[in-house]
Homo-oligomer: A and B are copies of this chain.
Amino acid sequence: MRLDTKRIHSGRVIDLDVDTVRFPDGSTGQLEMIRHPGAAAVIPFASDPLGPDPTILLIQQYRYATNGSLIEIPAGRLNPGEDPRVCAERELLEEVGVKAGRIERLTTIWTTPGFTDERIHLFWATDLTADRPAREPDEFIEVTPKPLSEVLKLIRSGVISDAKTALAVLFVAGFILEH
């Protein structure tokens, strides 16, 4: 339970609070908490997900945190009050340049609950039609289509190391196997 909160930093992407907290045993302590508005991420299927070895439109993206680039699915922060599905549609257009005829929710995850309240809503998108990407100025993105079988191998080998991407693909691969 929160007893007190102190805003240390108001940022562009995140805010940092130091909260005074009462723990379940009645003791109190201080916790750093990164406040994040949440995000949506979406697997774009360029071919029928239930067909043989469907193609996924991954992106290769510069990530300062990693000192290089990561292979990911399109994702982005929620605007205030935004429906995660609308955010997923926006990121599909901005990062991959497609519109989806159909977007289905997979699940919602806590990215790293030890120090942030960030949740990512995961989706998969099908029935894609090409449109024009509208990138934000600090996004450096290349679209890289890959068959699901190769994506699974890249997850196994650790080449795909972005948590939301690996999790979303393993999650949807389970669904596909059942059908």
Contacts and interface: CB of A to CB of B under 8 A. Distances in A.
A35 B86 CA distance: 31
A30 interface: yes
Interface string A163-174: 110110011001
A64 B137 CA distance: 35
Can you tell how many copies of this chain the complex includes?
2
Interface stretch (A19-27, A48-56, A95-103): A19-27
Nearest to A178: B156
A73 B117 CA distance: 18
Interface stretch (A5-13, A124-132, A143-151): A5-13
Contacts of A167: 163, 166-167, 170
Q: How large is the interface on A (under 10, 10 to 19, 20 to 34, 35 or more residues)?
A: 35 or more
Contact of A108 (B65, B119, B158): B158
Given A9-B32, A13-B115, A63-B110, 14 more contacts: A8-B9, A9-B18, A12-B32, A27-B137, A63-B114, A65-B116, A66-B113, A70-B113, A107-B156, A110-B163, A112-B112, A112-B116, A112-B120, A120-B163
19 contacts: A9-B18, A14-B32, A14-B34, A14-B115, A23-B62, A29-B138, A33-B65, A63-B114, A65-B116, A107-B158, A107-B161, A110-B163, A112-B112, A112-B118, A113-B162, A116-B116, A120-B163, A167-B167, A167-B170
